[in-house]
Amino acid sequence: MQIAHQDRQGMAESTKLLLKNLMRHKMLPLIYGVVRKEIWYRPDMYFYRDMLHMLARNKKVDETRQVWADLKSEGVLFDQHTYGDIVRVFCDAGLIDLAMEFYEDMRSSPEPPMSLPFRVILKGLIPYPELREKIKQDFLELFPDMIVYDPPDSLSDIDDEFKF
């Protein structure tokens, strides 16, 4: 069973590398369109996740919206962990508006909420304290018995705390 897991990991890494190279050569949109027209193509959450990650890293907003519309029209549903990863990637890329759109979609998903994706999102929102506070409140409403650790306002707060 371990070999199968390693094979899947290797395939995922190969796919990401391929997508990265296609993006670098501006071929990703072309390949995306061709793949979706193939007879063997079946809508796949992981295919779309990797596409969205690559588009986020390259700040391709229009292409992201197109891929998002396509996956919706094909009925692809993400699990909560995948939503958390996608929101985090968009936060890290500075595409906060898109990140919040994906977050709202996550909240309206039929999947039951899980705490880990919220924690991943909260970490990505550290540079955006107002949005982080909103997501934190949502998290605490869903998981009232859990604790959210807030980072210090600055690293100097940590230094002051440990001075002798």
Q: What is the pLDDT of residue 143?
A: 95
Mean pLDDT of the chain: 82
pLDDT computed for residue 149 by the predictor = 85
pLDDT tens figures, 144-158: 999 988 887 665 454
113 contacts 80 by C-beta, under 8 angstroms = yes
| Residue 26 structure tokens | 């501006």
pTM for the model stands at 0.74
Model confidence at 100: pLDDT above 90: yes
Domain boundaries, the chain: 1-55, 77-156
Task: Please give the pLDDT value at position 154.
Answer: 63
Q: Which band of pLDDT confidence, cut at 50, 70 and 90, is reported for residue 129?
A: very high
CB 158 within 8 A of CB 152: yes
Instruction: For residues 40-47, give the mean pLDDT.
Output: 84
Closest CA to 99 of 86, 108, 114: 86
- Structural class in CATH, domain 77-156: mainly alpha
